[in-house]
Structure 1
Amino acid sequence: MNHSTRFALPMLHAGQAQKEVFHNEALTIIDILLHAGVIDIAVDAPPAEPQVGEAWIVGAAPLDAWSGHPSEIAAWTEGGWRFVAPTPGMTVWVDSGGLYARFRDGEWRLGTLVAERVEVGGIQVVGPQAAAIPAPEAGTTIDAEARSAINAVLDALRAHGLIAGG
């Protein structure tokens, strides 16, 4: 095996000449990925004057030095551009949006959180979407203000996806 399975880090072999080159390449890739952060996402053209350590997520139609590396992380190093192909579940901080991007189903998704439930202090505050709740329509006493408030609450719950549309 010449490279690691997930991130293609170069492997050292017994009797290999210039092991430091392979070792340093592996450290460079690890440095790019460890607590990964990029300047921007879905950028097709490399910047004119990148600084060492800066990184971007390449867009779907890469140009120039980034050609052939769609959706990869492109990092400028002392040795030039290094590219790392994403793996499912990889999470990267994106400075331009102030959000995390996660690689899922073959694409980067900016600011999307996927979860079964959200807990605060050990108490579930958001869970799976509940069934639709019908708006009030009848009754022996009709209170227009109360009905309006209930409808506003139902509309808000639907807009946030907490209950199905009714």
Structure 2
Amino acid sequence: MSETTPRLSLPLLQAGQAQKEALHNEALIVIDGILAGMVESVGEDHPPAMPAPGQAWIVGPAPTGDWAGQADAVAIWTAGGWRFAPAKEGMAFRLKGSGVRIERGSAIWGDGAAVATVLKIGGVQVVGPRLSGISAPAGGSVVDTEARAALGVILVALRSHGLISS
């Protein structure tokens, strides 16, 4: 039987173990830190000088000091010192101050990207799957330069936002 959980490395209680509350409380502290969903910053390699209990950071790729050996982990400051949760694909947090979503991919932390099949506002779909390309206006018997220029600008904007393809 493993001594930690497979995803978050939380300590497991063992049969006949003395002082089980210590491991149980340790697991609760880490859970509390990652379920709060807020990190102070991302990619820091140096622990802050005066953290407050409950604050969390996403550790950078070359950590030093108390964070040494914890690259990419979530560092949570507690009354008992630093606790770490290993980075796992699908973990997500909000960056304090900006509210930007930080999510762990298969190998790195990414920020600001929203992945969805549709976008709904107020229950109404406003953006759906990308549609096929629209050709630029061409030919015709009446040439309206301003209308063609406006359509061209609209098509460029839609393509640059990824709403339609070329």
Q: TM-score, normalised by structure 2?
A: 0.91
- CA distance in structure 2 between the aligned counterparts of 1:29 and 1:103, rounded to whole angstroms: 17
Q: 1:97 to 1:60 in 2, by over 3 A?
A: farther
Structure 2 residue runs of 5 or longer lacking an equivalent are none
Alignment match, 2:70? 69
* Deviation at residue 122 of structure 1 after TM alignment: 4.7
* Deviation at residue 121 of structure 1 after TM alignment: 4.8
- CA distance in structure 2 between the aligned counterparts of 1:117 and 1:162, rounded to whole angstroms: 11
Alignment match, 1:43? 44
Question: SS at the partner of 1:83?
Answer: strand
Alignment match, 1:104? 105
Alignment match, 2:17? 16
Alignment match, 1:84? 85
- CA distance in structure 1 between the aligned counterparts of 2:79 and 2:104, rounded to whole angstroms: 27
* Deviation at residue 69 of structure 1 after TM alignment: 1.2
State the one-letter code of the partner of 1:18.
Answer: Q
- CA distance in structure 2 between the aligned counterparts of 1:152 and 1:89, rounded to whole angstroms: 38
* Deviation at residue 18 of structure 1 after TM alignment: 1.3
- CA distance in structure 2 between the aligned counterparts of 1:96 and 1:67, rounded to whole angstroms: 26
Q: What are the equivalent positions in structure 2 for 1:111-126 lying under 5 Å apart?
A: 111-126=112-127
* Deviation at residue 145 of structure 1 after TM alignment: 1.4
Alignment match, 1:27? 28
- CA distance in structure 2 between the aligned counterparts of 1:123 and 1:160, rounded to whole angstroms: 20
State the one-letter code of the partner of 1:134.
Answer: S
Across the two proteins, how many residue pairs are aligned to each other? Answer: 165
Of all paired residues, the percent bearing the same amino acid is 45
Structure 1 residue runs of 5 or longer lacking an equivalent are none
Q: 1:161 to 1:72 in 2, by over 3 A?
A: same
Deviation per CA, 1:17-46, whole angstroms, max 9, x where unpaired? 111211110111111112321111111111
Contact 1:40 1:96 in 2 (8 A): no
State the one-letter code of the partner of 2:82.
Answer: W
State the one-letter code of the partner of 2:103.
Answer: R
* Deviation at residue 127 of structure 1 after TM alignment: 2.3
State the one-letter code of the partner of 1:82.
Answer: R
- CA distance in structure 2 between the aligned counterparts of 1:37 and 1:122, rounded to whole angstroms: 27
Alignment match, 1:155? 156
Q: TM-score, normalised by structure 1?
A: 0.91
Deviation per CA, 1:75-104, whole angstroms, max 9, x where unpaired? 111111111012211111111432111111
Q: 1:126 to 1:37 in 2, by over 3 A?
A: same
- CA distance in structure 2 between the aligned counterparts of 1:96 and 1:110, rounded to whole angstroms: 14
Contact 2:30 2:76 in 1 (8 A): no
